[in-house]
Amino acid sequence: MNNNVPEEKRDLKKPSVVISKDHPKEKKKHIKKEGRTIYEILTDEINRNPDMTDDEKVAKLDELSKIQEMKVNILIVGPAGVGKSSTINSLFEMNVATVGEGVDPETDSLTRYDLNNLRLYDTPGFGDGIKDVDYAKMVEKKLNDLDKNGDPLIDLVLVILDAGSKDLGTSMSLINDTIIPNLGRKAEDRVLIALNQADVAMKGRHWDEVNNKPDAVLTKFLKDKAESVRRRISEATGVDTCPIYYAAGYTENGVQREPYNLTKLLYHIVHSIPAKKRLALADHVNKKRKNWRYDDGEDDYKGNTLLDFFDDVKGFMLSGADTGRNIGKIVLGKPGELIGAIIGGTLGAIGGFFSRLFG
Ligand SMILES: Nc1nc2c(ncn2[C@@H]2O[C@H](COP(=O)(O)OP(=O)(O)OP(=O)(O)O)[C@@H](O)[C@H]2O)c(=O)[nH]1
Ligand SMILES: [Mg+2]
């Protein structure tokens, strides 16, 4: 395969569907729901900043336009029916990834969703319909695609596994024999393993319906599972990953299961993306507040996600001023207030944007 040709110049064999928010219908929805994009807010803030000279403004706007060109590319892989499409739909503001209800793999070839600078590649599930070897080839090819700077195109591979599955053999082979070897050095920075369907991992038992979380028995089961996956990858490849468990949630016959630990999943995704590119995700975080309500409480995932986004904006707007994480630690738990307080004054619009991030 020719790895030296940038993706943009190559014919993608299976881009099949590119659903873009530039489509007039989508655009209307996008603007109505999200208001100004973070890039538009930053442009206004720069133009209005009384403390900057015209030359400084031009330089900052130039820098911003470079940031705006940066794409984040996330490849989502996992077995058939594990909840890849449901996960995309829960995380991001996009009701376009089809969610399967029948027995056939719903997503039958690589599907790319363009949400402005955020590009999500949803794969069909392996195991059914598509042969494991063909699936591995498709993943390998994508991992060897380069962007226009000659860097690897894929910023992050999100591997979704079934938290309840006893046999993870095929998934382990895909991770150990295909994904990690094709990520090169520091593979652990570009792969995230997430165990979905935590709610039904013990066939629906031990799920606390009232508080939408696993009870102590199921929590132990899930932690053991995550640890076992971590160990199997580490032993086979020497790469240390940090598998997490969550539930993407579902709606079925009017019954709704709200997501669990989606906050943790988003935090790990944002944190894995290079700081300069993170803003690409900020515009598309799902605004449904209930999606972000339940997690294991082991950390302030929402606050930390905001700080990660903020780190980026701070670096860009205040170049060098250190108002970051130390202050963050003090006020953590009230991320909206925190961001507003730190940014304050002229950058208030940005604070407002981030305080509304999770609906
Ligand atoms: N109980 C439960 N069901 C889920 C969860 N996430 C997804 N599902 C259900 O699992 C089924 C498959 O979900 P999809 O999102 O279509 O899975 P997929 O991995 O994209 O499937 P393919 O594209 O066919 O490989 C649907 O019925 C979802 O509602 C979850 O966290 N808990
Ligand atoms: Mg799917």
Over residues 157-176, mean pLDDT: 95
Pocket of ligand 1, beta carbon within 6 A: 78, 80-86, 99-101, 105-107, 124-125, 196-197, 199-200, 247-250, 257
Question: Which pairing describes strands 111-115 and 18-20: parallel, antiparallel, or unpaired?
Answer: parallel
pLDDT digits (tens, 9 = 90+) for 219-252: 999 999 999 999 999 999 999 999 999 999 998 8
| pTM, two decimal places | 0.84
Those residues whose C-beta lies under 8 Å from the C-beta of residue 194, and which sit 6 or more positions away, are 87, 158, 159, 160, 161, 243, 244, 245, 246, 265, 268
Q: What is the pLDDT of residue 60?
A: 84
Test site for ligand 1: of 75, 88, 94, 99, most ligand atoms within 8 A of the Cβ:
99
Joined tokens for residue 4: 């030296």
pLDDT at 316: 63
148's tokens: 């226009």
Residue with the nearest Cα to atom 2 of ligand 1? 197
CA of 204 to the centre of ligand 1 (A): 15
Report residue 244: phi and psi, to 5°.
-120, 160
Q: Which ligand ends up closest to the CA of 84? A: 1
Cβ proximity of 151 and 49 under 8 Å:
no
Tell me: pLDDT of 325 over 50.
no
Q: In the prediction, which pLDDT does 322 show? A: 41
Is residue 308 within 8 A of residue 270, CB to CB? The reply is yes
Residue 348 CA to ligand 1 center (angstroms) comes to: 39
Give, for ligand 1, the residue of 108, 203, 250 to mutate: max count of ligand atoms closer than 8 Å to Cβ: 250
Provide the pLDDT for residue 55.
Answer: 92
The pLDDT > 90 percentage for the chain reads 48
- B/e letters for 212-229, b = 16+ CB within 10 Å, e = fewer, are bbbeeebbebbeebbeeb
Q: Where residue 3 falls among pLDDT bands split at 50, 70, 90?
A: very low
Tell me whether residue 198 is exposed, middle or buried, using C-beta atoms within 10 angstroms of its C-beta: 0 to 12, 13 to 18, 19 or more. buried
| Residue that wins the pLDDT comparison between 88 and 94 | 88
Pair 260, 209: CB distance under 8 Å: no
Task: Give the tens place of pLDDT for each residue, 177-212.
Answer: 999 999 998 999 999 999 999 999 999 999 999 999
Query: What residue ranges define each of the domains in the chain, with the CATH number in brackets?
Result: 36-67+300-355 (no CATH), 71-283 (3.40.50.300)
Ligand 2 center from residue 123 Cα (angstroms): 7
Q: Which range, of 21-25, 190-194, 258-262, averages the lowest pLDDT?
A: 21-25
Ligand 1 pocket test, pick from 17, 86, 256 with the greatest ligand atom count within 8 Å of Cβ, gives 86
Mean pLDDT of 141-167: 95
Give the Å distance between the CA of 206 and the centre of ligand 1: 20
Percent share of the chain, pLDDT over 70: 75
